Structure 1
Amino acid sequence: MTTQCSTTTTPARFLLLGDSHAGCVGRAAQAAELPFVGGPLGSGRDFLGPFFDTGTTDLTFRQADTQRLYRQHLHTLDVSALAGLPVPLVCTFGLSAHTVATRQNWDLYRDRHGTVPDTFLHSRLFADLVRATVRGALAFYDHIAALGLRVLAPLPPQRVPGMSDPNVFFAAQHVLVDELTARDVELVDLRARVTDGTGLQRPAFCQADDTIHGNLAFGRLVVSELLDRGL
């Protein structure tokens, strides 16, 4: 499901593309009457492995529904290709760390206590495995950088569902942050404002009916940060 621009008469301030974590950002922007175009294009795991093909000035999403929504958004912005984007891109692709941290994916590396050792989580092998898992998203940000576009990436809510390993979550997220920073992506990092002493999201910023998403209050903080950065 996609969240459309909140107005039709005011020029959009940004293009929002992402997974379901983009939903609360879109809802908060709508509530603030901040004009934008876009919204979620799929689930987090849809944007980890290869998910698009590149062209000189644009890209094509491999999923037909995703491509259709993407083209609708560009049409709304009155541009024919991503290279002509007149506004910053706000994107959550590849930041679904809880998916990367799915417990069964890391069973091979557990010690006799059932824990993934810190030495492994800080190893080059672990970083390489994370990069391989999110190679599609990293390729996307490489393409965006080559087009010279400004992109801002809100870090996801710091929520770890039962299917995921918390230690792997935080370690994988560290790798992702480093990779996006190296690609000149502007990270919107609200961790210091929304987490408790354990590093997990405080209930006040959690969607009450699920285990991974942020709520409207979290989305409002993201939107406030976007405005502070000139969007």
Structure 2
Amino acid sequence: MTTRFSTITAPARFLLLGDSHAGPIGRAAAAADLPFLGGPIGAAREFTDDFFTASPQDVTFHNAETEGHYRQFLAELGVTGLGQLRVPLVATFGFAAHFIATKQNWHLYRTGDGFPAGFLHSPLFDAIVTETVRDALAFYRHAVDLGLRVCAVLPPQRVPNQSDPAVFLAAQEPVRRAVAALGVEVVDLRDRITDPSGFQRPELCEVDDEIHGNLAWGRIVLRELLDLGL
């Protein structure tokens, strides 16, 4: 990807925190001269289980590097804790569907070349998926409880070889519902970025990369954020 973090000296319109999928969103904002703070602060797998501790007005990230970047962003915003944030929070935590869909995690549930009829839309499947991202859900819950406006962005619709495409497509829906139920505004662009296969259109894909969207994808996300009033 490109520069890991983006900062603009003018008053920030939002704080961006997430995995590598936050990168193209930040690049799009920087290219549009839209002031913001933040960017990718870790890998997708780091933002599912036990990645932070909540306190009455803040969070502490367990990874030292992630925590350091987070504190830097807060300082540049002139606050000392998440609860003091006066701009919207844009995040990608919990929506790394390619990680949830890792093939080896789903062998137990397969029958032959597929899954039992209805499994991918069953309460069991939903429970497995939401349990996988339980700490991401806890993060969103805490941010909303602190009074923040939170927008969460669904990922590019791209499936690497180590992931199961059917699980990838299905897993996003229980996560989306769970996040939305917390009062988070979910940026779901699947109908605008995919072709008839259900996967990302080639012109929105990062070249020589199995997972990420490119700057054009980031611009579509940014346009939706602006339409939401950020």
* Normalised TM-score (structure 1): 0.96
- Residue by residue over 1:49-108, the C-alpha shift from the partner in whole angstroms, topping out at 9 and shown as x without a partner, is 110001000010000000000000000100011001010000000000110000010000
1:214 positional shift: 0.3
After superposition, residues 92-171 of structure 1 pair within 5 angstroms as 92-111=92-111, 113-171=112-170
Q: Could you list the per-position Cα deviations for residues 94-140 of structure 1 after superposition, in whole angstroms to 9, with x for gaps in the alignment?
A: 000110000010000111x2212342111111111111111110110
Report the equivalent of 2:178. 179
Q: Is the 8 A contact 1:2 1:38 kept in 2?
A: no
What SS does structure 1 have at the residue aligned with 2:21? Answer: helix
The Cα offsets for residues 25-56 of structure 1, whole Å up to 9 and x where unpaired, read as 00000000000000001111100111000100
| CA–CA separation in structure 1 for the residues paired with 2:160 and 2:115 | 17
Q: Is the 8 A contact 2:12 2:87 kept in 1?
A: yes
Aligned partner of 2:215 in structure 1 is 216
**Runs of 4 or more off by more than 2 Å in structure 1?**
none
Letter in 2 for 1:16: L
> Whole-Å Cα distance in 1 between the matches of residues 117 and 27 of structure 2?
38
Provide the C-alpha distance between the structure 1 equivalents of 2:212 and 2:6, rounded to a whole number of angstroms: 19
Match of 1:2 in 2: 4
| 1:66-85 mapped onto 2 (5 Å cutoff) | 66-85=66-85
2:23 matched residue in structure 1: 23
3-state SS in 2 of match to 1:161: coil
Quickly say closer, same or farther: Cα 1:189–1:89, change in 2 above 3 A.
same
5+ unaligned residues in a row in structure 1: which ranges? none
Q: Distance in 1 between matches of 2:122 and 2:104?
A: 19
Do the aligned partners of 2:6 and 2:39 also contact (CA within 8 Å) in 1? yes
The alpha carbon displacement at 1:4 in A equals 2.2
Counterpart amino acid of residue 221 in structure 1: I
SS in 1 for 2:34: coil
Equivalent in the alignment of 1:200: 199
Aligned to 2:37: 37
Query: Any idea what the Cα deviations from partners look like across 1:168-220, whole Å, max 9, x if unmatched?
Result: 11111111111111011111111111100111000010001210000000001
Q: 1: CA distance between counterparts of 2:136 and 2:124?
A: 19
Counterpart Cα distance in 1 of 2:115 and 2:49:
23
Contact 1:57 1:82 in 2 (8 A): yes
Whole-angstrom CA distance in 1 between matches of 2:169 and 2:117: 11
What root-mean-square deviation, in Å, do the aligned CA atoms of Structure 1 and Structure 2 show?
A: 1.0
Distance 2:102 2:18 in 1: 20
**Is contact 1:45-1:99 (8 Å) kept?**
yes
Structure 1 pair 118–205 and aligned structure 2 pair: CA distance change class (3 A): farther
SS in 2 for 1:20: coil
Read off the aligned partner of 2:59 and give its amino acid letter: L
Asked if the contact 1:106–1:116 (Cα under 8 Å) also holds between the matched residues in 2, the reply is no
Figure out how many residues of one structure are paired with residues of the other and give that number: 228
Secondary structure of the residue aligned to 1:60 is: strand
Q: Distance in 1 between matches of 2:181 and 2:117?
A: 24
